[in-house]
Copies of this chain bind each other. A is one copy, B any other.
Amino acid sequence: MDLGMTDRVRPLVEAVRAMVRDEIAPLDREFHAEVGRHPSGDRFRHSARQIEILETLKARARDRGLWNFWLTDSTRGQGLTTVEYAYLAEEMGKVHIAAEVFNCNAPDTGNMEVFERYGPQWMKDRWLAPLLEGEIRSAYVMTEPDVASSDAAQLAFAARRDGDDYVLNGEKWWISGAGDPRCKVYILMACTDPQAPKHQRHTMFALDAETPGIEVLRPMQVFGQDDAPHGHMHLRFTDVRIPAESVILGEGRGFEVAQGRLGPGRIHHCMRAIGQAEKALEMICRRGLTREAFGKPLAELGGNFDRIADARMEIEMARLLCLKAAWMMDTAGVRAAQPWISKIKVVAPLMAGRVLDEAMQIHGAAGISQDFDLAHMWTHVRTLRFADGPDAVHRRQVARAELRKYRNG
């Protein structure tokens, strides 16, 4: 169980770390300050400067071979393992726009994974190819407003077969990236047979984002912010007609695709969250050494030594757990890795949230202000406690797996 950084990935990690620190981080603030400067005033359309920043960086990354790391176990990517990718993703987590620079950003990676593993050739040609080039973006359309997302079998958005087509009706929300005009394709889960056994009711589809009948109701806000230009959209589908060939893998196999997609995606989120925790701990230390009160550096006051030690211990443990989950994915497959993915999915966002909270506190009110990235990182990891399944459902999976060992004895 080699969880270390391999010789193969080490130079990539160093290159990514350097590029994130030296080239991407300095532009991140400007990128966000540009939100809303598209001539239309639409916060979800990139300004010319935003496009320039992104595309310049992407071109550089690509030229250096720092591209599509996430496509593990495939001839199309770099042939990395998930363990190797973990070390790269951690670095990308430290700056908001970094993942996209390396074409490693959610939800596109998960969606590309779906096309790569389950999609017919025509989908690969039409959507996977330009996604791999970073030319278009995509969205993953699953969550619904009216049912608890912890129990996905309740999803009710309907796809009704009608001749050679399916007709889609219903609402979906928290559809990240769906407001971006570069987003050209949706991967969408719909209920095709409400009477079928629980895990055979749903089907996964791929469809053009500009299919008529799709309406953006509003951007969802996260702690009052719209996260533009990426954003999270509330969509309404009214009699949206798509051809039958839009089905991925087969009718009633939506859960199978979703599990295959969400496993790696969850780990990637966790890897990046660990990177954010590392950044927060560095900020705690720097602030603790330079800011003074009562004649001493803050680091030496109150329980700050303990907080620093606890943060370090928690980060190390979460990283190791994440690497183990990645190793399980690599060696035993998504299904066997499932309880491990659930574990890290609970652990990493909670841990990162705690470290970021301590970082905000030691920075005083500045820590929650626009002068530091801490509040933004915190809200991001807070959302991870819902994204791809809330804590409750992952804890439930872990507990059930544990009890199963003893049920018959």
A interface with B by C-beta (< 8 Å)? 1-5, 143, 145, 148-151, 154, 173-174, 220-225, 281-282, 285-286, 288-289, 291-294, 298-299, 301-310, 312-313, 316-318, 320-321, 324, 343, 346-347, 360-361, 364-366, 368-370, 375-376, 378-379, 382-383, 385-387, 390-396, 398-400, 402-403, 405-407
| Known A-B contacts A148-B298, A224-B375, A305-B396; A293 and B403 likewise in contact (beta carbons under 8 Å) | no
The smallest beta-carbon distance between A257 and chain B, in angstroms, is 21
11 interchain pairs (CB within 8 A)?
A1-B4, A3-B3, A3-B320, A145-B366, A220-B369, A221-B369, A289-B406, A289-B407, A305-B395, A305-B400, A308-B403
Integer count of this chain's copies in the complex: 4
Neighbouring B residues of A310 by C-beta, 8 Å: 395
Is the beta-carbon distance between B293 and A222 smaller than 8 angstroms?
A: no
- By CB atoms of chain B within 10 A, which of A318, A364, A385, A405 has the most? A364
The smallest beta-carbon distance between A405 and chain B, in angstroms, is 7
Q: How far is the CA of A49 from the CA of B269 in the complex (A)?
A: 43
Neighbouring B residues of A4 by C-beta, 8 Å: 1-2
- By CB atoms of chain B within 10 A, which of A4, A321, A379, A402 has the most? A402
Q: How far is the CA of A379 from the CA of B368 in the complex (A)?
A: 9
Using CB atoms, name the residue of chain B closest to A154: B293
